[in-house]
Copies of this chain bind each other. A is one copy, B any other.
Amino acid sequence: MTEDTLPTSTASGPAIDADSWVCPLPLRDSPNIVMGHGAGGALSAELVTHLFQPGYGAAGTTELGDAAVIAAQPGRLSFSTDSYVVKPTFFPGGNIGDLAVNGTVNDVSMCGGRPMFLSTSFILEEGTPLEDLARVARSMGWAAERAGVRLVTGDTKVVDSGNGDGIYVNTAGIGVIPDGVDIRPDRAQPGDAVLLSGCLGLHGIAVMSSREGIDFGTTVESDTAALNDLVDVMIGTGADIHVLRDPTRGGLAAAVNEIARSSEVGIEIEESRLPVPEAVSNACGLLGLDPMFVANEGKLMAIVAEQEADRVLEAMRGHEAGQDAVYIGRCVAEHPGAMVARTGIGATRVVDLPIGEQLPRIC
């Protein structure tokens, strides 16, 4: 399901109807972003009223001012931000808009926070089609509604043609961490089990195939998805979840390495247990990539005490976003800080933190 299945009108406003725009400049004759859209004047205000608010729909607010006022309960908040520069803007299974919402929702969730509010900030290249921007905004509204978060404040800047690349989006998110939850990258302990919520590599291969025009015989769709509800279910088991991490840029290898270093444990991954779809496997073989290094945008890795692993795994499998969850390895006292992969024939090899990225501009 992609943003294309969205209804063209939403609870909070009509769909974009260029013919009804009231505008001091004839926008109907200029269907693209102009510098004035980023200038804080009438054109900026119209972009908010006629494009962002209808696009965000029920997930947005009628104000979208310079700052939002939100109510806070006492306790701990989770606060995260990411900028998104993925190329191309639209790819199989998603686009920069739902990616930007889901990505920050997930970052807020990975320390146990329940995401509540997101900001959205755009850097647009002069000449970007308003239609593209509207499609991205609709995706953001749709993804936010699905994830149960509100898009409460925002900003738009425009840069000269040639000084940007269509649409860049930043989202920042705030979530509330329930009492008693203590999920941190430095809490992995020797003996802990390592769980993965589903198969590897879909997002990276989807973006690469659409960018490079490579046809792998079957369309690989990005797995971009919000994981906050899955995290809720996992926390709801009462199990003491030590670490959560979404293996995005740098893939599973970067995520496991970072946790191994933060927690000063070794982490052993059994390669034969890693779920890699055939299309991803074929694409990786063709391109010389390792699926462990390819980005995911709708998967999480969990580290829990060994005796609680089955219970958490069962809860994950009962949720749509975790139905293919598997046990993939364990934490050990040996070689602290290092990730080791156990191959099918029983040999082991060290998997280091990637230096850069096999595929740039993946998110």
Interface residues of A, Cβ cutoff 8 Å to B: 24-25, 34-45, 65-85, 107-108, 110-111, 113, 117, 119-123, 152-155, 157-160, 162-165, 168, 170, 172, 174, 176-177, 185, 248-250, 254, 258, 353-357, 360-361, 363
Contact = CB atoms under 8 A, between A and B. Distances in A.
17 contacts: A36-B355, A36-B356, A36-B360, A39-B357, A40-B248, A41-B354, A42-B356, A43-B355, A45-B258, A45-B353, A68-B78, A70-B79, A71-B75, A71-B77, A72-B77, A160-B360, A162-B162
Contacts of A82: 121, 155
* Copy count, this protein chain: 2
B108 A42 contact: no
A188 to B, nearest CB: 15
Contacts of A35: 356-357, 360
Given A34-B356, A41-B355, A108-B67, A74 B76 contact: no
A359 to B, nearest CB: 9
Contacts of A122: 83
Given A36-B355, A36-B357, 6 more contacts: A42-B356, A43-B356, A45-B258, A67-B110, A72-B77, A72-B176
Given A107-B66, A360-B158, A254 B172 contact: no
A282 to B, nearest CB: 24
A80 B153 contact: yes
Nearest to A34: B356
A172 B248 CA distance: 22
Contacts of A111: 67, 69
Given A25-B355, A41-B353, A355-B42, A70 B76 contact: yes
